[in-house]
A and B are shown apart, each in its own frame.
Chain A
Amino acid sequence: MKPFAYERADETARAVSTVAGSHGHATFLGGGTNLVDLMKLGVATPERLVDVTRLPHAEITETKYGGLLIGAAVRNSDLAVHPLVRERYPVLSEAILAGASGQIRNMATIGGNLLQRTRCPYFQDVSKACNKRAPGSGCPARHGEHRELAIIGHSEHCVATHPSDMAVALAALGAEVHVHGGQGLWSIPLTDLHRLPGEMPQRDTILAPEDLITHVELPPLPLARNSRYRKVRDRASFAFALVSLAAAVEVDGGNVADCRIAFGGIAHKPWRARKAEETLRGRPATPDAFGAAADAELADARPLRDNGFKLLLARNLFVRVLTDLVDG
């Protein structure tokens, strides 16, 4: 493990400038549940860690519009059990609780969860090629072991998936991410935070190294009270999603009045299912309509040799979750 310096930041601007001035050698540290593992494996080799868990963004507060402002240093466990989250955004609580283990969720922060790296096995093993870790070295997963990897939005350079469950719920809920970066304060929709791999799989997100996530903001969304997260994985707990679905739906007179839907486990980013949402709005809330909407969304999917099962799984999961939500 490469020797590194550690410092605990107590001022946001200082933390950002430390990383900005380090020429890429310093990195923010959240709970460390992903970054420290990657350092032990030699995948991440920062020279300085700037611990951002004591910065003043560790609270969950209600916004004046009736949404929630969630500090990036809030622990995953605390967010999952927050009464307002449970009441207004159950999909978010369920998604977090479907991820990792109790111990990991106690350590993991919201910022770190969003920026956790792919679980592609080649990425985690420095003795092997991987375009994401070592740009230009190749993507052995594409023709190798990719059963758990992407079916949509991938490129010839990378077929990895984003592993976060929480991010899928946040994508469905239309969350905004607040950033304190080298260029000041800005924010973007969560669905624009993560990238598709394209020609630059080494970049998971649009953030620069010194861009610190300070908050995630949830808009008020009454329909999210009727929302759900369902995750399909290889064992009953403590495994990453093969496919997951976050959905919120409101039905009026047997028709879908409005809905928010996102897939996990199928792409390089949480996959907001906008085509499916559009297809559904105003249509009858029936399994057939749900199936047609899922088909519309997944029409562009290009499964790899060994993960074709994910396509039907994603469709069936979509129909199941929406049907359950509508049936109450």
Chain B
Amino acid sequence: MAEVATRAIGAPVRRIEGRAKVTGAARYAVEHDPGEVAYGWIVQAQVARGKITDIDDAEARSQPGVLHVLWHGNAPRLEEVSDAELAVFQEPRVAYRGQIVAAVVADNPEAAREAARLVRVKVHEEPHDVGLRADHPHLYKPDKVNPSFPSDTDKGDVDAALARAEVTIDHTYSTPAYHNNAMEPHATLARWDGDRLTVYDSNQGAAAHRAPLAKAFGLEPEQVRVLAEHVGGGFGSKGTPRPQMIVAAMLARISGRAVKLPVTRQQMFAFTGYRTPTIQRMRLGATGDGRITAIEHRVFEQTSQIREFAEQAATPTRVMYATDNLRTSHRLVRLDVPTPSWMRAPGECPGMYALESAIDELALAVGIDPIELRIRNDADAEPDSGKPFSSRNLVACLREGADRFGWADRDPRQRQRDGRWFIGSGVAASTYPAYQRDAEATARVQPDGSFRVGIAAADIGTGARTALTQIAADTLGVPVERVRVDIGDSALPRAGVAGGSMGTSSWGAAVAKACEALLAEMERGGSEAHADTKAEIEAKKDLARHAFGAQFAEVRVDGETGEIRVSRLLGVFAAGRIVNPVTARSQFIGGMTMGMGMALFEESVMDRRYGDYLNHDLAQYHVPANADVADIEVAWIEEDDPELNRIGTKGIGEIGIVGTAAAIANAVHHATGLRFRALPIHLDGLVGAGT
């Protein structure tokens, strides 16, 4: 592999489409203008479990402007798809409250919305069960956890080691359900031209959305085109198709018009995915001088009746600390709830909250500084698999962070005060796997000497388009202004979704390879080249590849009112090469801010009698506001790891959220002496802590 010359890479190149976005010129899914258009609106189930006996759509259909009302009694049959959430209107069963049971298409959105309100859904309601418990009788072991890890691992003899341990920690931590809440709600614009289907959709991967859509409608992939040039965030919830895409295509087919179908914020809390609540039991055994001898991490989670999604929350524990005795497990229960799905750092995010809280508790139990304890237990090889790491700089991150944060001056005693405020600080580690998936790309020299690169990548607001342009420019040896990278179109060369923090690694490698091939082709008088990274990925060594980081938080807790303020946050990450420091910083601080939300604010609240999420809008589901983010700092340790991919990147999209919540919870404990093992930490339990 040729060295990529560095010029644009590593430079703070500004977001290429930034101007188009802030001036409104960039079009998002349903902002496209397809000519004559109709509007869809979704009708949702109002019971958590049951069977639809009838749907009375007479009044809805009689509304002026209404074209059709679609439901299982009159909808076109779909081919079988692997994700049952996509099998809309195929059967009368209601699997969760809020599931799509009918849809209206009308001349204008107001008429569609009003008609949707008038559709009468008659349901034979059945008793439902929506409560996750660690002792639920229907817990089962999934065959694998997302995306394809074993559910359980067991190395050494955990029970014996725990029995022998001088110090043990045994606590249960829990996290509530969370909703991704991207700024742009899911939305689809679908149009049929004969038997060809075009959709403008808000998603994290045009190519990945084409196949299931084609399958559902019995089409060849070539008959379907998915476009997602600009996307207002996804955080995982747009990584796989959501049912509105199918509904939009059905409504377009039935009405003979292009159809716009936006999902409302409230609807997003039902059928567009969320993070499962978790209950996590952590058991640690250690010697008196803080050497970990056993770790057990048992996770309990929910999934829906119609699709299994098993969040891999215990997997980071297989990576983090050296120990001879290590056991992890995941148990799921199928409930009458919506299907959980990917949400920023699935697995690592909730899992590291539990592990890094337990490590803090261990540090206190053995009386060792929590940074020192982590350093003492750093692993030479991946603890579970025994594989060597391609690179691992957790310790460097902890040290660098300790320096920047002023950890040496920290008084380990709890409940230090500044007037009525308690002040405390906490630390936690971060980790995220460095994945790479194969992809294809084309590169072409234009008559004017500029270059055009194509790949079905996605920029969901991350800056991916800019990073890919930098990579192409450097490979071609030209300034970024001379290169245009086309993405977000399934007609472009195949590429995986923006997920798993692997966009830059996967797409960037294909782009670099295509550009390299183009240079060779130009030598021969050609003007276009194509590349596929499949072979080089298959040839990669069998190593453990992960990014690491350290997060530091300082909190202030009002001893009278219990109000918590995060006065400082610092994250230091070792995530391979940083292609663009500006967009990378945004990714890190965005992730850390979400981690703060997880620690203190976010929680999807369910009233079990009803079975849906009650606080389904942004006035009730609190994400951090600007005023909550006081001082947030990010730094990174550049790694030169030749075992990753052509670009040398590990991925930065998700690691920022990993560990933040534990750092904050640990800081709250340091500040107040109170340990909260269930998130979010609201002030309820802290009122009057100072009196």
Which A residues lie at the B interface, using CB under 8 A?
1-3, 41-42, 119, 121-122, 125, 127-128, 140, 144-145, 147, 232, 234-240, 242, 309, 312-313, 316-317, 319-320
Contact = CB atoms under 8 A, between A and B. Distances in A.
B90 interface: no
A190 to B, nearest CB: 25
Interface in B664-681: none
A148 to B, nearest CB: 9
Which 5 pairs across A and B sit closest by C-beta, in order of nearness? Answer: A236-B627, A237-B627, A309-B684, A316-B560, A127-B46
Given A145-B605, A313-B562, A1 B620 contact: no
Given A1-B114, A309-B683, A309-B687, A236 B46 contact: no
B99 to A, nearest CB: 13
Nearest to A100: B619
B622 A234 contact: yes
Nearest to B620: A121
A309 B114 CA distance: 41
Nearest to B113: A1
Interface of B: 46, 110, 113-114, 117, 266, 420, 560-563, 565, 600-601, 605, 607, 609-610, 614-616, 619-620, 622, 624-628, 682-685, 687-688, 691
Given A309-B683, A313-B561, 8 more contacts: A1-B110, A1-B117, A121-B605, A125-B614, A234-B682, A236-B627, A240-B619, A320-B560
B625 A316 contact: no
A134 to B, nearest CB: 14
A140 B609 contact: yes
B683 A235 contact: no
Contact of A232 (B561, B565, B600, B619): B561
A218 to B, nearest CB: 28
B610 A232 contact: no
- Greatest chain B CB density within 10 A among A41, A236, A242 is at A236
- Greatest chain B CB density within 10 A among A3, A242, A316 is at A316
Nearest to A306: B684
19 contacts: A1-B117, A3-B114, A42-B117, A119-B620, A121-B605, A121-B615, A122-B614, A145-B614, A147-B684, A232-B563, A234-B682, A235-B601, A235-B624, A238-B627, A239-B622, A239-B625, A309-B685, A316-B560, A316-B688
B118 to A, nearest CB: 10
A60 B255 CA distance: 54
Contact of B607 (A140, A240, A242, A309): A140
A61 B46 CA distance: 51
A128 B561 contact: no
Contacts of B563: 232
Given A127-B46, A242-B683, A313-B687, A237 B625 contact: yes
A106 to B, nearest CB: 17
- Greatest chain B CB density within 10 A among A2, A140, A238, A320 is at A238
A234 B562 CA distance: 10
Contacts of A317: 560-561
Contacts of A3: 110, 114
Given A147-B684, A242-B683, A234 B601 contact: yes
Contact of A121 (B114, B565, B614, B684): B614
Contacts of A125: 614, 616
B612 to A, nearest CB: 8
A313 B560 CA distance: 7
A242 B564 CA distance: 14
B620 A236 contact: no
Contacts of A312: 687-688
A132 B236 CA distance: 38
B38 to A, nearest CB: 17
B110 A128 contact: no
